[in-house]
Amino acid sequence: MTTTKPKQEKRQIPARVIWLAVAAVLFLLPLVVEFDGLSPAGHRMFAIFLLAIVLWVAEPIPLFGTAALIILLEVLMISDKAIVGLPADFDPRSFRDYYAALADPVILLVLGGFFLAMGSSHFRLDKAMGRILLKPFGNQPAMIMLGLMIITGAFSMFMSNTAVTATMMAVVIPVVASLPSNDRIRVGMVLAIPFAANVGGMGTPVGTPPNAIAIGQLASSGISISFGKWMVLAVPGVILLLVISWWLLKTLFPSDTKEIDLKIEGEFDRSKNARIFYVVFIVTVLLWLTESFHGISSSIVGFIPVVALLTTGVLTEKDLQAVQWHVLWLIAGGIALGRGIVDSGLDEWVIGLISWESLGATLIIGVFAFATLALSTVMSNSASANLLIPLGVSLALSGTVDIDPLILGFTISMAASLAMALPISTPTNAVAYSSGLIKTGDMARTGIIIGIIGVLIYLLLMPLFWSALGIA
């Protein structure tokens, strides 16, 4: 009797290991190969930049892990504490400046937004407001969808758009359940929530991380933008895009149902802590909107709800532990990356690789915007903003082209938030997709159209509006 040995299965190398190997090779490349015109410090920063690209695109390690790694490598390779000395003609930044990215004013601004979002969820402010604000929209499906989008977009300006999406999905699912199973508007209503959250988050500095990344990079370059000015630049386009998105959704997913009987639960919490939170929320938002009058920067205002809600006990140690610290670390990594790119001269070298002078300002902004849109579709929008905003702002400041760095940085951040074609594009899309009520094809088809229209609005239409107002 003969026996045959079972065939041994080929062991496949995990994709994670492959991407880590690719990252390591690209990291070493600028350290062993000399690139013409790039300084020694620039070579080191180029190694860090290539490493960041691979790790942020492929995510073999967590995004926030990559952010922390960037800060450490900058300290070890290009700061005044570099473990291998830099040329005498290079004046390195203090290692403390790279660590300081973890407590940058922009971080405190976003932290304040997180505290307001947690309080709103804790005291069910979002649901209570949703119940009241939906009443004026009647009971026709298309109008209810418009109401849901307006409410979601408005909340997402001051709260985590992921948290808003989760809350509003709880509101929309009973509405969808009341519709016939073959009514196409069911899909439209579910898609309306994440799309409105993504668009609404573009409206304020605290609405979404790419906005904070742009503000941080601009601040590092000596350009400040107030909370109110950001809204003036962003909100008109947000409103227009919300209306266009609503029209597109109701056209692509028409309803056969005439009326819906809305039954949304949600009452205002009247406890002592809830009342304190309402006051803190209102005061913070008012101070943000009136920054040009009182002169208190938005980052200082953003720290007010943190102190007020913790010292009064409205939010507790448990709430503090629940803060999305990983997002803050990701933003800090982007701020540090931008500083390193400028300090090392890498930005000037990269910009010099292309003859930007032959391109018009609009075309250049369009290249950055659509590149950001494409990248953000398949990777974290914060990561893509971290990679492209520093290069865009540096190009605008180089004097090579006549572009306002504020407008270029702002437009890149808008484009990052407009990538919403896939469930992996944004957490809000993932939340909606997890409901099981929509297909990837429906999301992709609609998301691509809205993303392209959104970029074109901020690229071609909004500059005319800003020029008419004399603000850009």
Q: What are the pLDDT tens digits along the chain (472 aa)?
A: 445 555 555 567 788 899 999 999 999 999 999 999 999 999 999 999 999 988 887 889 988 899 999 999 999 999 999 988 888 778 888 999 999 999 888 888 888 888 887 888 788 776 677 667 777 887 888 888 999 899 899 988 987 787 788 778 877 877 787 788 888 888 999 999 999 999 999 999 988 889 999 999 899 888 989 999 999 999 999 999 999 999 999 999 988 888 877 666 667 788 999 999 999 988 988 888 888 788 888 889 889 999 999 999 999 999 899 888 888 898 888 888 888 988 898 888 888 888 888 888 899 999 999 999 988 887 778 888 888 999 999 999 988 888 999 999 999 999 999 998 888 778 888 878 877 888 888 889 999 999 999 999 999 999 999 988 887 6
User: Whole-angstrom Cα distance, residue 118 to residue 125?
Assistant: 10
Give bridge partners of residue 79 from the DSSP assignment.
93
Number of structural domains in the chain: 1
Q: How far apart are the first and last CA of the chain?
A: 87
User: Whole-angstrom Cα distance, residue 255 to residue 142?
Assistant: 8
The verdict on residue 291 lying in a domain is yes
0.85 surpassed by pTM: no
The verdict on residue 167 lying in a domain is yes
The verdict on residue 280 lying in a domain is yes
Note whether 111 and 302 are within 8 A (CB): yes
The verdict on residue 221 lying in a domain is no
Name the one residue in this structure whose structure tokens are 């290009």. Answer: 78
User: Whole-angstrom Cα distance, residue 78 to residue 95?
Assistant: 9
The verdict on residue 418 lying in a domain is no
Spell 146-160 as b/e; 16+ CB within 10 A means b.
Answer: bbbbbbbbbbbbbbb
Residue 114: give the domain boundaries. 105-207+227-326
User: Whole-angstrom Cα distance, residue 96 to residue 260?
Assistant: 59
Distance (Å) of CA 351 to CA 1, 130, 398, 401, 427: 73, 47, 9, 11, 32
The verdict on residue 100 lying in a domain is no
The verdict on residue 137 lying in a domain is yes
The verdict on residue 222 lying in a domain is no
